[in-house]
Amino acid sequence: MDYATRLGASPGRGHYAESREGARLIAQCRSRLNEFLGGQNPNNIIFTLNTSDALNLAIKGVVRQARLEHPDRTVHLITSDMDHNSVLRPYAALSSEPGVEITRVAADPETGVIASKDIAGALRPNTLLVSVVHVSNVSGVIQPIDEIGTICREQGVLYLVDVAQSLGHVPFSIVNSRADLVAFPGHKGLMGPQGTGGLYIAPHAVPRVATTREGGTGHLSELDVQPDEMPQKYEAGSHNTIGIVGLSEGVRWLQERGQVACREHELELIDVMLDELDRAGVKTIATPESNGPASSLRLLGPVDRGMRCGTFSFVHEQLSPAELVSALEEGFGILARAGIHCAPHAHRTLGSLKGETGGGAARMSFGPFVTKDDVAFAARSLREICAAFANA
């Protein structure tokens, strides 16, 4: 609100006070994000439209640079069945071109965990990039990104981590993960506005990532080519300054609270949900058979609190995901999402892609302002819906 009413200028496009202040606020957001992620340099934070935009820059930039240097070589890319379409679709687009090979590593059909040994086994001499999602947006499972990062670093393979579902919920460190590239959203766990996000490119990885768009930077405008200086190398055109300012305030709040405290709060909520589901007799990988009042409901993913974040997806034996979320909203004022969640192979892995009730699942997620009472109410609402349908 302050930026919209007091400033509103375009940073880097003028020397007047409002433009300079806008530039300072953008730099402040880079600094906060770099500290939050554990990066080496704030200028290696590249602002993007969203995580999908960041992932496209990372994936296509890496492939483009490799082809510029060695146009006749075939390159190999690795991802997993648990990844989002924001990775799967750029990979698919590249696979239609000559000289690009793709491997999609399978995950455990119960938990959705990607085994680091399977990533290691998929590596080839020409593997260029491994891309892994930190937390599944379907099962909520936390992947062993640190183990995978160690393998990639030892083999000299670039490592891209998608933290769309985890950043702000699960502690993350660039140092511990050994990630070369990290794609993140602004509007999820960082609590910024939609239309914000970014890509961290480690300094040593910059020479291996080509630009994928060029344009105005307000800096070195006399050049016909994109500047090599960071972050202008990857940021063409005017910034979403008002969105970045909002993102910066979300990161500031998280820094003051701390990643550990955010995780502890979410674990408390996870415990409440798992306890309530167990009492209701919801089917899980730990209790595949049940006679409880909510036995017609199945939870996807792990039941070990340490293996998951606060994302819970459910499949009902008769109700479609759309019918289930509609009942939650109309009867209890609870907002949830139905469908395949842009992760078809994750649903296929977990057995929820197709069925008599339609593809996908009903998903609900926790935020930092959700309380234990909220979670208990949501779980009991699911129980009531199951009971009411069984008695209809």
pLDDT in tens, 171-184: 999 999 999 999 99
For residue 62, what are its two tokens?
């890496």
Q: What is the mean predicted confidence (pLDDT) over 153-168? A: 97
Tell me, what's the pLDDT at 217? 86
Region 159-180 average pLDDT: 97
CB 315 within 8 A of CB 329: no
With a pLDDT cut of 90, the percent of the chain lying above it is 91
**Residue-level pLDDT at 290:** 87
Q: Label residue 12 by pLDDT band (50, 70, 90).
A: confident
Residue 92 has pLDDT above 80, yes or no: yes
User: Residue 122 half-sphere exposure, CB side, CA atoms within 13 Å?
Assistant: 25
Position 356 pLDDT exceeds 80:
no
pLDDT at 313: 98
Q: In the chain, which segments carry CATH 3.40.640.10? A: 2-257
Q: Which fold has domain 259-391?
A: Aspartate Aminotransferase, domain 1 (3.90.1150)
Query: How many Cα neighbours within 13 Å face the side chain of 262?
Result: 24
pLDDT beyond 70 at 114:
yes
Please tell me the predicted confidence (pLDDT) of residue 220: 83
Residue intervals of the chain classified under CATH 3.90.1150.10 are: 259-391
The predicted model gives 116-129 an average pLDDT of: 98
Q: How confident is the model at residue 218 (pLDDT cuts 50, 70, 90)?
A: confident
DSSP string of 119-166? Answer: HHHH--TTEEEEEEESB-TTT-BBP-HHHHHHHHHHHT-EEEEE-TTT
Query: pLDDT, tens digit, for every residue of 251-310?
Result: 999 999 999 999 999 999 999 999 999 999 999 999 999 889 999 999 999 999 999 999
Tokens at residue 336, please? 């949830």
pLDDT of amino acid 392: 67
Query: Mean pLDDT throughout 215-232?
Result: 90
What is the residue-wise DSSP string for 293-314?
A: TTTTEEE-S---GGGB-SEEEE
pLDDT at 326: 97
Domain covering 2-257 in this structure, CATH number: 3.40.640.10
* Predicted confidence (pLDDT) per residue in 299-330, tens digit: 999 999 999 999 999 999 999 999 999 999 99
Tokens of 231: 């972050």
> Among 5-14, 90-99, 159-168, 194-203, where is mean pLDDT lowest?
5-14
pLDDT at site 358: 59
CA 244/CA 5 separation, integer angstroms:
15
Please tell me the predicted confidence (pLDDT) of residue 357.
52
Mean pLDDT of the chain: 95
Residue 113 has pLDDT above 80, yes or no: yes
pTM over 0.85: yes
- Starting at the earlier edge strand, list the strands of the sheet with 181-185: 45-48, 197-201, 181-185, 158-162, 127-133, 75-80, 100-105
pLDDT of residue 219: 79
For the cut 90, the answer to whether the pLDDT of residue 390 exceeds it is no
